[in-house]
Amino acid sequence: MKTNSSCASVLAAGMIANASSSDLFRVYFGTQAKGAQRGIYMALFDAKTGKLEEPVHVSDSIRPGFVVIHPDGQYLYATDAAGSFTGGTSHFVSSYRIEEPSGILTDLNTQAVGTGGPCHISLSPDSRFLLAADYRGACCATLPILENFEIGEPTAVREHSGSGPNPKRQEKAHTHSFNGSPDGKFALAADLGIDQILSYRFDDGDLTLFGETPTAPGAGPRHLVFHPNGQFAYVSMELNGTVSAYEYSDGTLTEIQTCTTLPGNFAGDNTVSEVQITPDGRFLYVGNRGHESLAIFAVDPESGKLTALGHESTRGKHPRHFNIDPSGRFLIAANMHSDNVVVFRIDPETGKLDFTGSEISVPAPSCVQFFSI
């Protein structure tokens, strides 16, 4: 599929006429789409009305399942099955320049990561490094962001070993996410295969193992999010349908609580996906694939404990990822198996989610990232 830059420009002009710059966002979607539909998509979102415009195909990257945007809004990074290289089966991370005013992506460069394929990336708090988790290769890595915003060769790669009690999913280590701590001194890797969250001392791109936090056997830690106050962290447990709350201090996680993400009467198959917290730290959301819902929790700001508030259908199948807009007013959920993206309004007092009526089609969406324009 070819990139439609003229369509993007017209789309942007129409929305800008009806929204102030503080209300207007670009939303980029990583996907698992194949064939002519493969690549990264972008849609404009008006946070005044809650309307998400029709998507534009902005890059034909191969399986860009996860994307992040540099804080300056001019560059985007993605996991990529092949990047700019052709004819091979290696897996990479890729960098792109975001063109103005269209939002179309221009290839910059590609770097190999690990031996299996990165599934998750994040930027260090100072945005000087890309942190990558390689699921099949069972490792985490740091890669510098160069002065020209391209990705440099890895400065550190740390492999994990071991297994868990689930023979189908935990036959070996599977690093599923890698995130920097708010103070920039540590980086935490959630490893689904070995039921551990590994803490690394992070020093100018180097990684030194600092500690290991075990989870319940068979839990399968997937993704991690920090509370805005930096004192708590929350981890979605993919395999046993739970979310765990931790107190965080100087690279150490101390478990506070573990909660189910499912209603008591649910008896079907389910895997947990994303976890996100509102910018004010009052509400937490966790994705359920199988129950096809978002579990909603209130967060106690003093203790970090969670109180279950209920569930909201994602109006699709397999909500692999979702994100909250920077204003904290809206949540956008990506349903990978039904090819749809749905917008919900967040009630600021109760945390409950209300469908706005805005829904678009994106092929196999697997990641949602916002940037204000």
Residue 8 DSSP symbol: H
Whether 17 maps to a domain, the answer reads: no
pLDDT of residue 91: 77
Structure tokens at 176: 């599923």
> How many Å apart are CA 120 and CA 140, to the nearest integer?
10
In the chain, the number of structural domains is 1
pLDDT bracket for residue 6 (50, 70, 90):
very low
pLDDT bracket for residue 344 (50, 70, 90):
very high
Q: Residue 118 is inside which H or E element, if any? A: strand 118-123
pLDDT of residue 80: 87
Spatial contact of 138 and 161, defined as CB atoms under 8 Å apart: yes
Whether 5 maps to a domain, the answer reads: no
Per mean pLDDT, which of 18-32, 84-98, 185-199 is the most reliable? 185-199
Q: Which residue, among 39, 21, 19, has the nearest Cα to 29 in the 3D structure? A: 39
Whether 1 maps to a domain, the answer reads: no
- Domain with 231 in it: what CATH number? 2.130.10.10
Structural domain span for residue 136: 24-372
What does the radius of gyration of the chain's CA atoms come to, in whole angstroms? 19
Q: What percent of the chain has pLDDT over 90?
A: 89
- Kindly list the distances between the CA atom of residue 285 and the CA atoms of 72, 115, 213, 276, in Å, as whole numbers in the listed order: 27, 32, 22, 5
pLDDT of residue 113: 87
Whether 112 maps to a domain, the answer reads: yes
Tell me: the pLDDT tens digits for 141-199? 999 999 999 999 999 999 999 999 999 999 999 999 999 999 999 999 999 999 999 99
User: How many degrees, rounded to 5, is the angle at CA 135 between CA 283 and CA 315?
Assistant: 40
Q: Which residue, among 360, 342, 367, 316, has the nearest Cα to 32 in the 3D structure? A: 367
- Kindly list the distances between the CA atom of residue 1 and the CA atoms of 40, 41, 58, 251, in Å, as whole numbers in the listed order: 11, 11, 10, 45
pTM: 0.94
Tell me: the pLDDT tens digits for 98-145? 999 999 999 999 999 877 789 999 999 999 999 999 999 999 999 999
> How many Å apart are CA 247 and CA 336, to the nearest integer?
32
> How many Å apart are CA 189 and CA 194, to the nearest integer?
11
pLDDT of residue 116: 76
What order of strands is seen across the sheet that includes strand 330-335?
319-324, 330-335, 340-346, 353-361
Has residue 15 got a pLDDT over 50? no
Whether 256 maps to a domain, the answer reads: yes
Whether 13 maps to a domain, the answer reads: no
Whether 19 maps to a domain, the answer reads: no
> How many Å apart are CA 39 and CA 15, to the nearest integer?
24
Phi, psi of 125 (to 5 degrees): -55, -30
Whether 2 maps to a domain, the answer reads: no
Structure tokens at 51: 């309307």
Tell me: the pLDDT tens digits for 223-243? 999 999 999 999 999 999 999
> How many Å apart are CA 224 and CA 221, to the nearest integer?
8
